[in-house]
Structure formats: C-alpha cells, structure tokens
Amino acid sequence: MEQLYTTEIIDNGREIVLSYGGPEPREVVLTYQADLPPAMCPQDWDGEEGQTAPRRRSRKGLYIFLLCLVLLAGAVTAAALLPLREARPGKGDPSEDYDFTDYDYGDGEITIAAYPVGGDFRVELSEERTEALTAQEVYARVNPSVVSVVAYMGRGGSVGTGVIMSQDGYIVTNHHVIAGGESCTVILSNGYELEAKVVGWDTDNDLAVLKVEAEGLTAAVFGSSDLLTVGDKVYAIGNPLGLELRGTLTDGIVSAINRDVDVDGITMTLIQTNAALNSGNSGGPLINEYGQVVGINTIKMVSGYDDEATVEGLGFAVPSSTVAHIVNCIISTGEVVPEPVLGVTVIGAATLPDGTTGVLVREVTKGYGGDMAGILPGDVILSVDGEAVDDNTDILRIRRRHQAGDTLVMVIYRDGQRFTVQVPLMAG
C-alpha cells in the first residue's frame, strides 16, 4: 500500500513523474521523464490572443473523423457490456496532489458501501495437476484475473492488488488494503475502472471480499495449497509501488509451508516464498506452475533500522485453503466460523506388514469426532472418504472440503483388523 505517483505537464511538452514518498525511516524518490506523443504537444500559433489556429482541410482530417466514429461505436458497445468509471471517487481537479500512504496492518474503520451477504458463489479448490506451464503461459492465464484495488480515504488512500474469484465480480484482497477506506475502485487488467462494495473481512487472516457489478469477468482457478511442497515453483502478479508498475510478474519458489508469523500480535499460518513482493503486491495471487492461485500475498519481511542489512526474499501468502474457508464464510453469512476439526492428532506415515501405508494416530481429543467414532491412539488411518492417505496433509486436504456437521468415512487398521468408522466434524 502503496502510493501513487503525481504527474505534471510543463510547457516544453515533457511529462515529469514527480515524487513517491516511501515509508520511514528513509525516503525513496523515483523520477521518470519521457516525451509526450506528438499529438499531445502544444502547437505554435502566432495569431491574435483569443483566436484559434486555422485548420487545414485534408483527407487526413476525414480519415481521423471516420476513425473517431469507429472508436466511439466501440466505446458505446463496451460501456453496455461493462460499467466504465469516468473518474475515481473524489478525484476532483486532476492537478491535485493525492497522498497515498502506507497504512499499518489492520488500522482504520472501513466505511466503504456494503454489499449484502448470502450470495451463492463459493470458492472451490482444484487438485488437478496437468503439465507445468511456462512463465509466459502462467501470466497469460492469470493476469486477466488480477485487479488493482484503490481505497480512498479523504485526500489519501492505498493501492493494492486483488484476485477475481467469480465471473460476476466477487474479488478477494487483503483487509489492510481497504482498512480505513471510505470508497473503493477496482481497475481491471484491461484498464476498466469499477466501483467496488465490500462484502466483509477478517482481520485475523488479513482477508477481505469485494463485489463489483459486472458479468463475464475472467475468474482465477484456485488450487489446493495443501499440495504445495518446499521447492515448488511459484509466481506472483501485482502492482509493486503502485499503479505505474501494475501487472508485474515475479517468480520464485516455496521456501516454507505452514510458517507461523506474528503480525501485530496475531499469529498467521502462511506460505513463505522468495518471489519478489513489494508494497502494492498486497492482496495479489501467489500462483503455482499450473496456473492456479494457491495463496494471497499479504506481507513482506523488511528490516526496521537503517543500520540493518537489507532483508530480501522473505515474502508470505495466506494459503488458498484458508482463503477458501474465510471467503466462503464471508459470502454466505458475513461471519467467519472456525474450521471443522476431527479431534485426532497424527504423527506421520506408517507401513503395515502387507506394505499398505497409512497415517499413525498419536492422540485423540475427548469429546470430538475421532473420540465419538471410537478411534484410539496407535490406530492407523488408511483412507478418508475413499482416498488413500500417506501423511497428515492428505487428511487435512480432505477435511477442508467439508464443513462442521459433515461426516468423514475412515478406514482404520488396528491389531491386524480393518474396519470403517463415521467421524463427525465439529466446529473448532
């Protein structure tokens, strides 16, 4: 979050991008200068004041007129298909300077217009694994589903990234991107700007759901973060340092999974990656090599003092398994309920005398589903819902498909015998 640049057009036809104010303790100033297109440069005119330069009649003018008609027709058609914002809320005079400030995690009351809960859309996690894609293929597939999120706060605001989840306009981003926001604009990859309303948010997991009024948007495919392993190739798309660099692709690997990180007193279990993340990437997708969103980028570790070494390659993302649960709760009821639990603790893979593998049960919590189904420490879980399991992540991945109140069917091995149990899922 993420600041915008301010621009000024001066008399000699040059465009200068002025200042970008970085967060304390030091200031970063970026300067860029480029020639304006000839059509935008002022023309010399020596006539009297108040008069306009005479126009030259030529076929070129006719061609330009016809071209304008074609473009106008296209614009009218596009406007009928997708609402196009002509101006951002509160922008006013384009010469005004807007201070887009990096706000602290979780700060600020959100007063963005609300969108009603109770929608039918739900995030579903794909476990399909096809041939790995190239970086170019990943970008072409996912970038149309990536948006810029601009939250306005009086004369200031923040810029982050978001991911389109449904064709009718449900979008996920970070809570801290819109914290303190009074209104919100979403900019699609094709440049269209749409007013966004907020469906709900969860500060503990730094997630928020927005809704825009549109149809036919390109929705991202969400993959299961439970299938990730350390060393997997991943990509990130976002708006580092603001809108000028939006749509930037970076790559890296999964550095760690299930990493507990303390953020302002809140412990978040995150994916660690060395893909380059900067202010503005917040809320954007972490993507696996199959073009599936497996996380929502949320924070980057940085040094807090000038005399410390620069911290590089320490970015974190909310796992898609967590995103799906939180988002589905927000859309359906507006309230986040704990994920369902089995009440069974496992310690890893176990191999039976016949070579069959399963997961060894270490502990069973009294009063929860595993205890009610009769599972005991020392049992080996061979399958869940008809799927063979080899480690605890398999059980976790299957469990996350369900809600509290559902029942899991497990095949258990004990003392040379195999039997089936029904395990009720309970709210944690």
* Structural domains of the chain ordered from first start: 99-212 (2.40.10.10), 226-238+246-318 (2.40.10.10), 340-427 (2.30.42.10)
Question: How far is residue 25 from each of residues 6, 242, 244, 308, measured CA to CA in Å?
Answer: 22, 19, 23, 12
- pLDDT for the residue 33: 39
- Catalytic residue from among 202, 206, 226, 394: 206
- Lowest-pLDDT choice from 4-8, 120-124, 199-203, 217-221: 4-8
Give mean pLDDT, residues 254-278. Answer: 88
What pLDDT band is residue 236 in, cutting at 50, 70 and 90? Answer: very high
Residue 40 has pLDDT above 50, yes or no: no
Q: Select from 402, 388, 331 the least CA-distant residue to 359.
A: 388
The reported pLDDT for the residue numbered 70 is 43
> 150, 212 in Cβ contact below 8 A?
no
Which of 145, 148, 158, 176 is labelled catalytic?
Answer: 176
Q: Does residue 416 surpass a pLDDT of 80?
A: yes
Q: Tell which residue, 271, 326, 284, 278, has the closest CA to residue 163.
A: 284
pLDDT average, residue stretch 211-225: 96
The residue from 282, 320, 321, 383 that is catalytic is 282
Task: Tell me how far CA of residue 210 lies from CA of 114, 161, 364, in angstroms.
Answer: 9, 12, 40
At 112, list the tokens: 């963005």
pLDDT digits (tens, 9 = 90+) for 297-310: 998 765 555 545 45
Residues 230-234, mean pLDDT to the nearest whole number: 97
pLDDT of residue 132: 95
Residue 72 is predicted with a pLDDT of 47
Residue 157 near residue 147 (C-beta atoms within 8 A): no
- Across the chain, mean pLDDT equals 78
Model confidence at 405, pLDDT cuts 50, 70, 90, reads confident
* DSSP reduced 3-state for 30: coil
Name which residue leads in pLDDT, 82 or 229: 229
Task: Flag whether pLDDT at 233 surpasses 90.
Answer: yes
Tell me if residue 158 is catalytic. Answer: no
pLDDT the model gives residue 16: 43
pLDDT of residue 337: 84
Q: Which runs of E-coded beta strand occur in 231-388?
A: 233-238, 248-263, 266-273, 285-288, 293-300, 315-319, 340-341, 344-351, 357-364, 380-384, 387-388
- Give the pLDDT score at 20: 40
pLDDT number for residue 91: 35
pLDDT tier at 4, thresholds 50, 70, 90: very low
Is the pLDDT at 340 greater than 80? The verdict is: yes
**Helices marked H in 46-159 — which ranges?**
59-81, 135-142
Which pTM value belongs to this model? 0.68
> How many whole angstroms separate alpha carbon 385 and alpha carbon 408?
6
Instruction: State residue 156's pLDDT score.
Output: 80
CA dist., res. 114 & res. 203, Å (int): 17
Is the pLDDT confidence value at 120 over 80?
yes
Per mean pLDDT, which range of 14-28, 246-260, 381-395 is the poorest?
Answer: 14-28
Q: Angle CA(17)–CA(156)–CA(113) in degrees, nearest 5?
A: 130
Active site annotation includes 206: yes
